[in-house]
Amino acid sequence: MYDIIGDVHGHATALESLLRHLGYRYNRGAFRFPGNRRQVIFLGDFIDRGPKIVETLTIVQAMLDGGSASAVIGNHEYNALIWHTPDGKGGWLRTHTDVHLKQHRATLEQFGLDPNDPADTKGVLDGGSLTTVGARRLREELSWLRRLPLYLENDVLRVVHAAWSDAAVSALEETVRGTVRFEPRFSLLDDTFLYRSAYGKYRESWAVEILLKGIEIGLPGGAHYRDKEGASRFRTRVRWWIDPATLVAKPMVTMADVAMPPADRELATLPVAQRYLERFPGYRDQRPVFFGHYWFLPPAAPVESRAACLDYSIARDGWLCAYRYDGEPVLTREGFTAVDAAGRVVQ
C-alpha cells in the first residue's frame, strides 16, 4: 500500500530518517521498500525554507524516477515556476516583490544564486543562456517539477497539496478539453495554462488556487487580520474538510468553527454568513483524502475520519509526518509516524 509524506521543505535529514523508519532502504540509486510492496506518495512543498533543498530534491526525484514514489506539486514549487517564468511583458508571472523573494530565498541561495544580485534573480526559465552551474541545475529541477500533477486519485485514495475540490477538478477538465494535450492533472505542462493560472481573472487560476493554496471566504464587515508576512488579509482559509452537517446543527457558526489560524484566534466571534454555510464544501467521498500545506502543530491525528493533513511544520521546529495507509475506511492516529528535524522518531 502507501506511505503518504507531508511537506518536507528542504529537510533531507528528517526525510531520510523517516524513510528508513518506515522500512525503505537505499537500493539501486533510490529509496525503495523491500519487494516493492509499498510506495511513497509525496504531498509537495519540497523546496524553500529548509537547510538541504538540493539534497531533498535528489532523494525525491530518484524515488519518482525509480518507481518507488509518486507526488503532487505543492504551492512552493508552483510559486517557484511562475517566479522564474517571464510574462512576455518584461516582468514575471509571479512578481519579484520583497515578500516573494523572501519566500524563495533559501532555494536560490542553495542553488548558488545571489538573492541580492538582479542578474541572479531575473528568473531561470526565460529561455536564455545561464552562466552558472547552479542556475542551470535549478532550471533543470523546475522543469522536472513542472511535470508533477496537481492532484492524484485512484480506487482507494485521493491526494492533493491543499484542498480537494470536485468543482476545481471539474473546472480543470472543462478548461483543458480540446486545448491541452495532457490529462487535466498535468495541465501545468501547457504554456498557455501556466500563464493563465497566474492571473486571477482566469478559471485556471481559480482552480489552481484552490488545489494548491486552499479554499477561502471573505471576512464579514470589512474585518481583517495580518498574516505571518505582515500583510492585511480580508479573506481567510477554511477547514474545507469539515462535515457540513456539524455546522448546520449549531445555533450560530463563527469563524472559530471554520477558519484556519490566525483568523480563528483573532476573529473568533465573527459570524459566518448563512449563504456560505449552505454551500460549505465539506468532504463527502468514501475514499480518504490526504493533504499538506496548513502548518499543523504536533501531535498528529486525522482531522476527520476520512481526511488527514500531513503538514506538521517541520520548517518551524515541528515534525515531518507520514501516514501508513493500508486501505482502512477510517483513518486513525496510530497510522501516523513522525520525526523531528534531527531525524529522531517522535510519534
What is the full DSSP assignment across 198-211?
A: TSTTSHHHHHHHHH
Decide if 31 contacts 24 (C-beta within 8 A).
yes
What region, left, alpha or beta, does residue 71 occupy, with left being phi > 0 and alpha being psi -120 to 50 degrees? Answer: beta
Of residues 249 and 271, more confidence is placed in: 271
Place of cell 501516523: 336
Decide if 107 contacts 71 (C-beta within 8 A).
no
Read off the amino acid at residue 314. Answer: I
Decide if 245 contacts 195 (C-beta within 8 A).
no
- The pLDDT, as a whole number, for residue 280 is 87
Computed over every residue of the chain, the mean pLDDT equals 92
For the chain, the domains span 2-213+286-339, 216-277
Q: What is the DSSP letter of 86?
A: B
Percent of the chain with pLDDT over 70: 97
Report residue 178's pLDDT band, with 50, 70 and 90 as the boundaries. Answer: low
Read off the amino acid at residue 220. Answer: P
Residues 6+ apart with CB under 8 A from 132: 112, 113, 120
- Mapped onto helix, strand or coil, the DSSP state of residue 4 is strand
The length of the chain is: 347
Q: What mean pLDDT comes out for the span 224-241?
A: 82
Highest mean pLDDT among 150-164, 221-235, 267-281: 150-164
Q: What mean pLDDT comes out for the span 284-294?
A: 96
The model's pLDDT over 321-330, given as tens digits with 9 standing for 90+, comes to 999 999 999 9
Decide if 64 contacts 82 (C-beta within 8 A).
no
Of residues 5 and 224, more confidence is placed in: 5
pTM over 0.75: yes
Does residue 8 register a pLDDT over 90?
A: yes
Does residue 113 register a pLDDT over 80?
A: yes
Least trusted range by pLDDT, from 14-18, 209-213, 273-277, 285-289: 273-277
Decide if 10 contacts 106 (C-beta within 8 A).
yes
Domain 2-213+286-339 carries which CATH code? Answer: 3.60.21.10
Does residue 214 register a pLDDT over 70?
A: yes
CA distances for 261 relative to 75, 239, 256, 267, angstroms? 18, 10, 9, 10
Report residue 12's pLDDT band, with 50, 70 and 90 as the boundaries. Answer: very high
What secondary structure does DSSP assign to 101-149, as a single string? Answer: HHHHHHHHHHTT--TT-TTTSS-S-SSS---SHHHHHHHHHHHHHTTS-
